[in-house]
A and B are shown apart, each in its own frame.
Chain A
Amino acid sequence: MEPYSEKVMDHFRNPRNVGEIENPDGVGHVGNPMCGDVMEMYIKVKDNVIVDAKFKTFGCGAAIATSSMATELVIGKTIDEARQITNKVVAEALDGLPPVKMHCSNLAEEALEAAIKDYHQKQKKN
């Protein structure tokens, strides 16, 4: 396999925003059907802006780094802006991923998507 970029290793070594949020406004829990790895993303939303995001990931180096980068990218974004954050955007922010590891970045995109969906559902209920 190609080696990971410096950025990936930086996020792997010092992952940002690890953990859970108490009383989150949205939670996304997704699994990667390709490899069985799992990611959880928690978001806190205020006036339609994501003010905090945290993650927990069971997965490879790429999965951990993309989770970390995704949380960094979404914090401070409006919900609509956050929706634009695809796996490609996350991978590019990490200076790319080895080709065999691109599927790992889906996990971050899907977890974010799921967290936003959960947020909307909770909004409707209130």
Chain B
Amino acid sequence: MKMIYLDHAATTATDPEVLEAMLPYFHEHYGNPSSIYSMSRVSKNAIENAREIVANALGANPKEIVFTSSGSECDNFAIKGVALAKQQKGNHIITSSIEHHAVLYTCKFLEKNGFTVTYLPIDQDGIVKLDELEKAITPQTILITVMHANNEIGTIQPIRQIGEIARKNGITFHTDAVQTFGHIPVNVDNLNVDILSISGHKFYGPKGVGALYIRKGIKITPLIHGGDQERRRRASTENVPGIIGLGKAVEIAGKVMKSEAIRQTKLRDEFIRAILDNIDDARLNGHPSLRLPNNVNISFEGIEGESILLNLDIERIAASTGSACSSSSLEPSHVLLSIGLTHEFAHGSVRFSLGKQTTKDELDYVVEALPGIVKKLRAMSPLYKK
């Protein structure tokens, strides 16, 4: 039987059309975009074309787009770059307690290097408290960074309002849109953002390529020094095939995003309902409606996440606990603890993330397999006494 892949928030399969668009740039048009001869112009033009596609999708100017190696690099670049560029002005950064580690650990790193960071609390649905944000702002605040949607529980943040508050106070605002871009509308002016991170592999593009939107006039120090590429904001010979692939993935997303979001939201809600109807003492984590169309995160009382995943794997179902990157860490997810779950409940959570290929039949299969798995694990749990 085929694997039922429900871990699209971790990564997606590269769309065959994307792959096809990339291939010639490995061996045919392999010229270094910075070189002078005509062969290089092909790759140079292709990069600029991709830049335009990304810019258009975001409602930005192509000059405001910098290609990077990943979502993680985008987050590091945005945060460290603004911190360094504005350190004369202040040393205070505001973020949320449920950011991806690429943001959280970058902030922790800056804390060890003379910056102070406020980690905003969130409510039980995972939404940042705006009044806490206003209270946290000081004359020293140089950057606010709050993610567009959370990778674990899928909650979508009030980015537009946060951006308004940032702008009113003259503070640079960055958002990590890695989980939203290509899935729901992301427009930099609607969202009032100054800097925004995206990553190719989360929406059927290749791994190892990202793009950072940097609004004109925003001060930022480069992370990678060297050559003159990317208007001197990021040195290194461009990952031409990757960038072409990213552009193609954005182009495809533009065509299918709307219908996919509707389709997946419907599947998502039916799936959540079916799980909660069939299994006692389970709860949905995250906001019921302000959530990514593809995100389902459920906690099962009295049992532990990894043992659920291993059992799902035996049934050929791929899901994850919290974020894939922390699946070997022992701590329960910082996101689930932040929304107020007990240690045990946080330990017993599973994230199913849907994708373009996900069908109703696949989800029905999971709904059938789950109760048995939960029952078996609960029977051997000393914490479940019902």
Contact = CB atoms under 8 A, between A and B. Distances in A.
Contacts of A36: 332, 343-344, 347
Interface string A49-62: 00000011111110
Contacts of A63: 304, 307
Interface stretch (B29-37, B209-217, B362-370, B378-386): B378-386
A38 B382 contact: yes
Contacts of B306: 60-61
B314 interface: yes
Contacts of B328: 1, 100
A37 interface: yes
Contact of B330 (A35, A38, A55, A64): A35
Interface string A1-23: 10010000100110100110000
Contact of A18 (B310, B331, B380): B380
Contacts of A103: 330
A89 to B, nearest CB: 22
Please classify how large the interface on chain B is, using the bins under 10, 10 to 19, 20 to 34, 35 or more. 20 to 34
A1 B327 contact: yes
Please classify how large the interface on chain A is, using the bins under 10, 10 to 19, 20 to 34, 35 or more. 20 to 34
Given A1-B327, A35-B330, A36-B347, A57 B314 contact: no
Interface in B316-335: 327-328, 330-332
A58 B303 contact: yes
Interface in B280-314: 302-304, 306-307, 310, 314
Given A36-B347, A64-B307, A58 B382 contact: yes
Nearest to A101: B328
A61 B314 CA distance: 12
A64 B308 CA distance: 12
A79 B303 CA distance: 31
A57 to B, nearest CB: 6
A39 B383 CA distance: 9
A57 B330 contact: no
B310 A58 contact: no
A-side interface mostly: mixed
Nearest to B384: A58
B310 to A, nearest CB: 5
- Most chain B beta carbons < 10 A, residue from A1, A19, A58, A61: A58
Nearest to A56: B382
Contacts of A34: 330
Nearest to A57: B380
Given A1-B328, A34-B330, A36-B343, A56 B307 contact: no
Contact of B307 (A1, A40, A60): A60
A87 B332 CA distance: 24
A59 B307 CA distance: 7
A44 interface: no
Given A12-B307, A36-B347, A58 B332 contact: no
B82 to A, nearest CB: 35
Given A18-B379, A58-B381, 6 more contacts: A19-B380, A36-B343, A38-B382, A58-B302, A63-B307, A100-B330
29 contacts: A1-B327, A4-B310, A12-B307, A12-B310, A13-B314, A15-B380, A18-B379, A18-B380, A19-B380, A34-B330, A35-B331, A35-B347, A36-B332, A37-B304, A37-B347, A56-B381, A57-B380, A57-B381, A58-B302, A58-B304, A58-B344, A58-B382, A58-B383, A59-B304, A63-B304, A63-B307, A64-B307, A64-B380, A103-B330
What 7 A-B pairs come out closest when comparing CB atoms? A60-B306, A56-B382, A35-B330, A1-B328, A40-B382, A18-B380, A58-B381
Interface of B: 302-304, 306-307, 310, 314, 327-328, 330-332, 343-344, 347, 379-384
